[in-house]
Amino acid sequence: MNFWKNKKILLTGGDGFLGSFIHKKLIEIGVSEENIRIPYIRDCDLRVWENCLSAVSEMDIVIHLAASVGGIGFNKKYPATLFYDNAMMGIQLIEASYIHGVKKFVALGTICAYPKFTPVPFKEENLWNGYPEETNAPYGIAKKMLLVQCQAYREQFCFNALYLLPVNLYGPKDNFHPEHSHVIPALIKKMVDARKKGEKQITVWGTGEVTREFLYVEDAAEGILLATERYNKSDPVNLGVGKEIKIKDLVYLIAELTGYKGEILWDKSRPDGQPRRCLDVTRAKEEFGFVAKTDFREGLKKTIEWYEKVLSEK
């Protein structure tokens, strides 16, 4: 609590999926509501330089979560938007934070920054050993630029900026939009909706043979706050669980948990994305004591229950 006492915190994306859980945890550890500033896009577009300067003014800590994101389909449709939005927000916020004397800047990167054929498990030192998977390269590279900026500002200005690489997140309050969502909420929505409508089959993108790793959103929030409190180095840090699952196995697990009994068709003309994703999470444990706690099956149950509850309230 000594670290957080009287700190003024800018939490970009604080009204979003991950941000809402970090906001809640900050309150739980004793940070007062008046010391948390959350910029909302309707009146503080962080692609605009003047808004970045205003947002960071008088802040001690910036936790930058705000991002333009989506699944494979969204990435393929809007590559320029994803590159521009994410690069402009991050680059300007870091510069504005340095100008205003912010004491610590926490930048959230993305697993999409890793090369397409990274040896598994992904180690932070492999980050520059190739080009990212093509469908999400513009997003991944825009976010990776922020690592370079954080390291450059630390070297030249002694600016305390750190860079975290969270794996794919999931959990309650996730984005279940049919066009913008990632794989877990997309599958949950598809199967729950099909079950309720009595549909006999659904179609899933790809072959199902690729693997992904998933981190429960509350665990991610805990990891980010531990890093904010305890980590002060330029080396990037993975946040994950260190376990992967085949998309095919994930699909059948979600079918079981949602009660979907119909046929599952695989559209192999659609892209799979990166062949494998699984992180080496040693550095996070050693540097600031982060270990993910939530069992994957239990996390999925909580996510499905939340989505079903939202549907029942409509």
For residue range 249-306, list pLDDT tens digits in order: 999 999 999 999 999 999 999 888 888 999 999 999 999 999 999 999 999 999 999 9
Residues 275, 273: Cα–Cα separation, whole Å: 6
Please check whether residue 96 is in contact with residue 88, taking contact to mean a CB–CB distance below 8 angstroms. Answer: no
Residue 132 lies in a domain: yes
Residue at 183 is within a domain: no
Sheet strands (E) in the chain: 9-12, 36-37, 61-64, 104-108, 161-166, 168-170, 201-205, 211-212, 214-216, 237-239, 245-246, 263-267
pLDDT of residue 165: 98
What confidence tens digit (pLDDT) does each residue in 131-187 have?
Answer: 999 988 999 999 999 999 999 999 999 999 999 999 999 999 998 987 778 899 999
pLDDT, residue 174, reads 94
Residue 223: pLDDT over 70: yes
Residue 137 maps to a domain? yes
Residue 205 included in any domain? no
Is residue 73 scored above 90 in pLDDT?
no
12 contacts: CB under 8 Å, gap ≥ 6 = 19, 38, 39, 46, 55, 62, 63, 64, 65, 66, 89, 93
The reported pLDDT for the residue numbered 1 is 63
Q: Is residue 151 part of a domain?
A: yes
- The pLDDT value recorded for residue 70 is 80
> What residue numbers bound the domain in which 129 lies?
9-174+214-242+275-294
**pLDDT category of residue 74 using cuts at 50, 70 and 90:** confident
Number of domains in the chain: 1
Q: Is 194 a domain residue?
A: no
Residue listed under structure tokens 């609590």: 1
3-state secondary structure of 165: strand
Task: Give the residue-averaged pLDDT of 64-70.
Answer: 91
Kindly state whether residue 308 falls inside one of the protein's structural domains: no
Residue 46 belongs to a domain with what CATH number? 3.40.50.720
| Structure tokens belonging to residue 270 | 């659609």
Average pLDDT of the chain? 95
Query: For position 120, what pLDDT does the model report?
Result: 95
The answer to whether position 306 is within a domain reads: no
Which residues lie below 8 Å from residue 183, measured CB to CB, with a gap of 6+?
Answer: 71, 168, 212, 247, 250
* pLDDT for residue 39 is more than 70: yes
Taking the mean position of all CA atoms in its chain, how far away is CA 62? 16
Which residues are marked as active site? 139
Q: Does residue 184 contact residue 254 with C-beta atoms inside 8 Å?
A: yes
